[in-house]
Structure 1
Amino acid sequence: MRTGPLSDTDRTPPKTVGAVWGLLVLNTLGSTGAKTIVPLPRSLIQMVTMGALVAAFTLALAVNLRLRVRPSAYVFLLTLLLVPSVISSADLGSGFGALFRCARLALFVGTLWLLSRWWDGGVTFVRHHIRMYFAVLGSVAVGLAVSPGAALPDLYGGRLVGALWPLTPPQIGQYAAVVIGLTVLLVLGRRTDKGSAAVVIVPSLVLLALTHTRTATLGLLIGLAAAIGSLVLTSAAARRFFAWAVLGAVVAGVGFASALRAWFLRGQSQEHFTSLTGREKVWDALLAAPRTTSEQLFGMGLGDKSFGGLPIDNSWLAVYHEQGLTGAAVVAAIMVVLAGVALLRPPSLSRACAIFLIGYCAIASYTEAGLGDASPYLLHLAVAASLLVAPAAAPPPATPEAPRRRVPRWAPRSEMT
């Protein structure tokens, strides 16, 4: 691969880049979830998602045949994460599926390397991110309109699921929260008008409320607070929004306290709520399980983020279980590097969007898995990394040469010299 200053053509991503990003989003939607209106075999879904990743890599390679890339600590650390993943999966203790997941992660990281050519600190990939996930939310809304019973099943306690594509409530909540947060920041940065933003934000808020997803809601609120706080000193619009948001939070807390509490508890008992819906039992069992030194260092191999048949629902413990302490150290380095670079950048819209995405992923990592494998969380952080790239300096304009004086052929030799 080649690195170096980019030409004007390199700085303008082709339309194919948006298609590649959409295929990466499709690949990370997953293959398990609620029952859909039209039953979709899991094998078919896996074929579609894996085919999307292969197509994404192929298209990215087609538009970047010269293999021009931007230096990126984020993608470099993701490449390092492949080392413990392959080491732990090579002994086939987790079956051939572990090696398949390693190949998927390698293809995912390779596609990000190819796309890094167009990472320039702008909001291009933020717009791609919003469009693609809003399209996913659109499919959820269509499923809700076509079959409310399938979209709000009793199996999930009446929470919103994907009736056309098998999406769980936490997934939908995550996509809605990220779309809302990024769109709000684009409005504050005057990169979109309020009417267009309302078309995106209002339905996304409705879908988020119907999922009853606490992690996504807290991630949205805390991530936005941190992002807008980074703009307060330089943006009057951010100061006004922050003031109105605080006032609205106070009014909602006083006037709708009981309704908010009921929504937050989702009908669960206080004991069930404090134990994080039973997650702590799985976490305790995972940490108490005996492991060899090799398993502690490199993990058990890439799997389906479960332990004893139950979901782990914690990114750090999932990485420790599958990629060991080495993988956990790499993931921690990713978060620290991105957060450190974001704090060192001057206030800007790009920095605020990056802070929101990093903050959201950090909060969600406590109750959701995904930081150690190809997932929406790694795509969120990839957008953050694209926003934190220092813009390449434009090449200096060429100095025009002075026109040479034309001398007639008949002129004497003295005039020619």
Structure 2
Amino acid sequence: MGTDHTSKIVGTAWGLLILNTLGSTGAKTIVPLPRSLIQMVTMGALAVAFTLALAVNLRLRIRASAFVFLLTLLLVPSVISSADLESGFGALFRCARLALFVGTLWLLSRWWDGGLTFVRHHIRMYFAVLASVAAGAVLSPGAAMPELYGGRLVGALWPLTPPQIGQYAAVIIGLAVLLLLGRRTDRFSAAVVIVPALVLLALTHTRTATLGLLIGLVLAIGSLFLTSAAARRFFAWAVLCAAVAAVGFGSVLRAWFLRGQSEENFTSLTGRAKVWDALLAAPRTTSEHLFGAGLGDKSFGGLPIDNSWLAVYHEQGMTGVALVAAVIVVLGGVALLRPPSLPRACAIFLISYCAIASYTEAGLGDASPYLLHLAVAASLLAVPAAAPAATAEVPRRPVPRWAQSSEVT
């Protein structure tokens, strides 16, 4: 199988993993899509992704990866807590989904070589998702910005929530900016991605994604500050533009950030704190404390948890929390130990973004876009496979004349 053909299959498998993590709940779409149909599409995408990854890696060649190994260990508390069926048969189904998801990552790890291949796959697929959001906004502005979500942008063709759209936009903006600074793409190509994504991010009014983008870029560009003149220039211009915006548009930015909420609602993180307090106050058995109550829909008392750490604690216990923390610590530690480079900067951006978003978004303990972001970071931090050393030709000693065979005539 040719290298180009294999690369296309790997990219397709990665795109199908992203499709699987888009979810099946969200805003009402222009054409009503039954949830069962959406689940069939997303789960079918995961099955096809695993099949494609297996087809191009029949010899099961994998790269050693602490990231995927820790995700594999995360299956243990997930299965233990889900086996008693306290959360219903759906918990076991989610365990099977997570196992297939992790298995696909193991198969694709063969192509994790510290290069930017998966960064480009990531940008292309999420840009396609955002294009569908933009198309829905053009076709039906009312459905794309409904009153139910306070006029924030949602997916009108596929049921996507404002935080999802904001997350996808922020991630590809950050990666595109870093590729531009590293001269791995031209200005026009970068602008085609960055400008529309910025517009969509602004329309979602997603504070977490915005803060994750800004802080992630500061950390990533800071890692290039001493070795890249382009990074230093960009940083200087960014500081200048931020100062001008703060002075000239301070009231507008504050209004956008508050989204019309009261100070009390804002300080309680839009009601999230009440759910968190109730979750922490709920009585738990020793088994539930250690292994959780089983994989669920990341909700408590019918309300979304919206915190990765508390969601993992609720569903996979303190064992799951320790494993997820180990994932962040290991990836972050490896990134800090790597010499300055563009792949390292991209990895730092993705790791820091996921760490920041984990405070108000769930997903680090189950198959989700956040695990795919971290998987891209793991691929960027992988050590390139050493090229096979050429076999040195051993010089032969000249054969004495007397030892040479003579032809008998």
Normalising by structure 1, we get a TM-score of: 0.95
Residue of 126, 134, 137 corresponding to 2:130: 137
2:117 counterpart residue number: 124
CA distance in 2, matches of 1:188, 1:253: 25
CA distance in 1, matches of 2:404, 2:319: 77
TM superposition shift of 1:413: 4.7
1:254 has 2:280 as partner: no
1:223 and 1:131 mapped to 2: Cα distance? 20
Q: CA deviation at 1:396?
A: 2.1
User: After the TM superposition, which residues 166-177 of structure 1 pair with which residues of structure 2 at under 5 Å, given as runs?
Assistant: 166-177=159-170
Q: Unmatched 5+ residue regions in structure 2?
A: none
RMSD of aligned alpha carbons = 1.9
Instruction: Check conservation: 2:154, 2:204, Cα contact below 8 A.
Output: yes
Paired residues for 1:32-47 under 5 Å: 32-47=25-40
- AA aligned opposite 1:255: G
| Amino acid aligned to 2:165 | I
2: distance between equivalents of 1:274 and 1:88?
A: 34
Please name the residue that 1:52 is paired with.
45
- Judge conservation of contact 1:319–1:327 (CA < 8 Å) in 2: yes
2:18 corresponds, among 18, 25, 28, to 25
Contact 2:220/2:345 (CA < 8 Å) preserved in 1? yes
Q: Distance in 1 between matches of 2:276 and 2:54?
A: 41
* Mapped partners of 2:117, 2:172: distance in 1: 14
Whether contact under 8 Å (2:6, 2:56) holds in the other structure is no
Judge conservation of contact 1:10–1:117 (CA < 8 Å) in 2.
Answer: no
Match of 2:76 among 79, 83, 93: 83
Other-structure match for 1:5: none
Percent pairwise identity: 83
Among candidates 191, 194, 203, match of residue 187 of structure 2: 194
Structure 1 residue 391: Cα displacement = 1.4
2:115 and 2:193 map into 1 onto residues whose CA distance is 21
Letter in 2 for 1:253: A
2:65 to 60, 64, 72: 72
Question: Which residue does 2:358 correspond to in 1?
Answer: 365
* 1:294 matches 2:287: yes
Question: Does the 8 Å contact 1:37/1:147 carry over to 2?
Answer: yes
Partners in 1 of 2:6 and 2:211 — Cα distance? 34
SS for the counterpart of 2:114 is: coil
Question: Over residues 234-270 of structure 1, what are the superposed CA-to-partner deviations in whole Å (9 max), with x where a residue is unaligned?
Answer: 0000000000001111010000000000000000011
1:264-279 equivalences in 2 (<5 Å): 264-279=257-272
2:382 corresponds to which of 389, 406, 417 = 389
Q: Which amino acid counterpart does residue 30 of structure 1 have in structure 2? A: G
Equivalent residue letter for 2:228: S
Give 1:351's aligned amino acid. Answer: R
The number of aligned residues is 406
SS at match of 1:14: helix
Unaligned 5+ runs, structure 1: 1-8
Matching of residue 320 in structure 1 with residue 316 in structure 2 = no
Residue 4 (structure 1) aligns with: none
